[in-house]
Chains A and B, each alone.
Chain A
Amino acid sequence: VGAVWLALVLALIVLPSALGVSLGISEAYMWVLVKTLEWATIRIEKGVKKSQPQMLKSPAANGIIERDETPMEKEIARLHRVDFEFSDIFYFCRKGFEAIVEDEVTQRFSSEELVSWNLLTRTNVNFHYISLRLTVVWVIGVIVRYCFLLPLRFTLAAIGITSMIVGTTMVGQLPNSSVKNYLSEVVHLTCSRTLVRALSGTIHYHNKENKPQKGGICVANHTSPIDAIILTNDGCYAMVGQVHGGLMGVIQRATVKACPHVWFERSEIKDRHLVTKRLREHVADKSKLPILIFPEGTCINNTSVMMFKKGSFEIGGTIYPVAIKYDPQFGDAFWNSSKYNIVSYLLRIMTSWAIVCNVWYMPPMVRKEGEDAVQFANRVKSAIARQGGLTELPWDGGLKRAKVKDTFKEEQQKNYSKMLVRNGSIG
């Protein structure tokens, strides 16, 4: 039985990925999935309407409380009678409470809340027992996911990773030549495609004419470790990162023989000049593959784009921005590293329905005259946020673990004091 199983997997999945064709199996699966979820949503809506007939209709916005967006100046001017009074305290009091109930930043570090249940146990937070039929479908879903999909995906992942290591080691033995590059591309692409199928990934690529070229730098927003696989599914990149131990280290050492990825030792990565120099050398060589960088530095939950670190934008060369947006309905791709370690994360991904995402390749950007790295970084960030339909935040992703820098605080407080002076309250 084991042999039959393996043979089926190889024939139906691995071989097509090597050749770059699709047998339509995933499409059929997705169609069934979409129909099931639509049915489930309608049933839930019916159930909800029965129990609470007077719910007010308002669109679900990006948050749970209504925010008054009037700028500070207008709001305080409204409250003022003559000059500085108790009234200013209202404004800050309310802002403080709003921040305590819900703040823009902390919510980005936990998974996006779904508007409708997608039949996964883990997302069943708000939704209660509705009907027998729905529960039965859910149970079937659990069986399908854990007993059928999980072993299948695990097998595929194992095949993918093993062939990556074996393949790149073999290719790495060849002398440098165009044949070697071609074979290396084939190996990388096949393994990437296998791994994407291991996650039941459905990826829609848009604007392929803007795909990153050799000698360029590809930047994208970061949601999970899978982002790299999503992009390498459609093209070859030179990865940039730190050398790890364990399985990851083995993969890194094998692949770097076949293709010039840029791996840094832990000590090297602290030296920013060294990092920039090596990347600059790589980019200057127009025959080398484009490098892939995630400037946010950490995983964000895919509803917003946070501050891009300027380091990547100081290297020079052409930047190819890419926006990645996952559809949370089928599976949550966000890696909440403070809550889950990598193994439980991968387990969750492999027991979700699917990973569905959209990738937009955007026209290349270069640094303008008189623009510094920070401004350039912000410009690219806005473009990516706009394309992917994500909100843009000036905050640093490092806030996941650290506190706000004092410089940020002082800015806001300065604004407020400046306003008082202007109103003539002082002197």
Chain B
Amino acid sequence: VPPTPSPLSFPPTVTSEQIEHLHRRFKQLSRDQLTIRKENFDSIPDLEFNPIRGKIVHAFFDKRNLRQESDGLADEINFEDFLTIMSYFRPIEMNMDEEQLNRFRKEKLKFLFHMYDSDHDGKITLQEYRNVVEELLSGNPHLEKESARSIADGAMMEAASICVGQMGPDQVYEGITFEDFLKMWQGIDIETKMHVRFLNMEPIAHCY
């Protein structure tokens, strides 16, 4: 399998201005250090609301997302790593061809896949999916664990039916592999849901 090209070698879709903005943000988060640790994300009030906050922060340190050959979690990331993770949320460009679009989509789905597959074994098992559902519902004290479980089970069954079709009585669905994952999202346009678009700024003459 040929190694995926580094995101910064794509046609320049991030302007130097945007990189400067991100750099300033990085310095703010890292409190002027060269690297960021997990604790630095605690200073973002908006993020506290997010039920899957843990998974999002985790994604920044996941070595699979950082395109490193080794596996596991990094302790700290530098600005280049930060940009690498940000690049997963680049919006699509008008001038992309079919092959680029496909690669783009695959990248984003892979990022999402890694979020679910917490033990890094390449499969999303029922337990892993249950974990995600529980996190999403973690804020509400009125929902019991049972409800979270039944949601997860229902979703896994649907996934199984899409990927494997009718299963025999003694067939066991081990878990969703990345290929299955891609199949589930066929025909659904996720690229426009998973991007963050920068506004363009330029000097405007003030008239007094």
Binding site for B on A (CB under 8 A): 34, 37-38, 41-42, 44-45, 48, 55-58, 60-61, 63-66, 79, 82-86, 88-106, 110, 115-117, 126-127, 329, 395, 399, 403-404, 408-410, 412-414, 416-418, 420-421, 425-427
Contacts and interface: CB of A to CB of B under 8 A. Distances in A.
Given A416-B136, A427-B147, A92 B50 contact: yes
B197 to A, nearest CB: 4
A79 B193 contact: yes
A93 B56 contact: yes
A116 B56 contact: no
A389 B63 CA distance: 45
A61 B204 contact: no
Contacts of B44: 99-100, 103, 106
B45 interface: yes
A44 B202 CA distance: 10
Given A58-B199, A89-B115, A417 B41 contact: no
A418 B140 contact: yes
Q: Please name the 4 residue pairs, one residue from A and one from B, whose CB atoms are nearest each other, closest first.
A: A413-B139, A417-B140, A99-B46, A103-B46
A420 B45 contact: no
Nearest to B17: A126
A99 B208 CA distance: 35
Contacts of A79: 193
A126 B18 CA distance: 11
A72 B67 CA distance: 32
A115 B52 contact: no
A309 to B, nearest CB: 17
Given A116-B203, A416-B51, A90 B139 contact: no
Contacts of A65: 196-199
Interface of B: 17-18, 20-22, 25, 28-29, 41-53, 56, 86, 89, 112, 115-116, 132-133, 136-140, 142-143, 147, 150-151, 154-155, 158, 184, 190, 193-208
A219 to B, nearest CB: 24
Given A86-B184, A101-B25, A105-B45, A64 B206 contact: no
Contact of A45 (B41, B51, B115, B203): B203
Given A83-B154, A96-B50, A417-B142, A115 B208 contact: no
A91 B28 CA distance: 25
A99 B20 CA distance: 17
A41 B46 CA distance: 35
B199 A417 contact: no
B22 A101 contact: yes
A48 B137 contact: no
Contacts of A126: 17, 20
10 contacts: A60-B202, A63-B199, A84-B154, A86-B184, A88-B136, A92-B50, A99-B50, A100-B47, A117-B203, A426-B151
Contact of B199 (A64, A89, A103): A64
B39 to A, nearest CB: 11
Contact of B206 (A41, A55, A58): A41
B194 A93 contact: yes
Contacts of B202: 48, 55, 57, 60
A28 to B, nearest CB: 15
A268 to B, nearest CB: 31
Contacts of A409: 48-49, 139
Contacts of A85: 155, 158
A60 B204 contact: yes
Name, among A38, A65, A82, the residue most crowded by chain B CB atoms within 10 Å (CB to CB). A65
Given A41-B206, A64-B18, A90-B190, 12 more contacts: A38-B205, A65-B196, A86-B184, A89-B115, A93-B194, A94-B89, A100-B47, A106-B43, A399-B45, A410-B139, A417-B143, A421-B143
A340 to B, nearest CB: 15
Contact of A93 (B42, B45, B112, B184): B112
A424 to B, nearest CB: 12
A404 B45 contact: yes
Contacts of B116: 86
A417 B52 contact: no
Given A116-B205, A409-B49, A416 B42 contact: no
B196 A97 contact: yes
A408 B42 CA distance: 15
B181 to A, nearest CB: 9
Contacts of A395: 45
B45 A101 contact: no
Nearest to B185: A86
Given A106-B44, A416-B51, A101 B142 contact: no
A271 B116 CA distance: 50
Nearest to A44: B203
B49 A37 contact: no
A86 B158 CA distance: 11
Given A65-B198, A96-B47, A425 B151 contact: yes
Nearest to A402: B45
A89 B136 contact: yes
A11 B18 CA distance: 52
Nearest to A410: B139
A395 B204 CA distance: 31
Contacts of B137: 413, 416-417, 420
A375 B39 CA distance: 35
A413 B200 contact: no
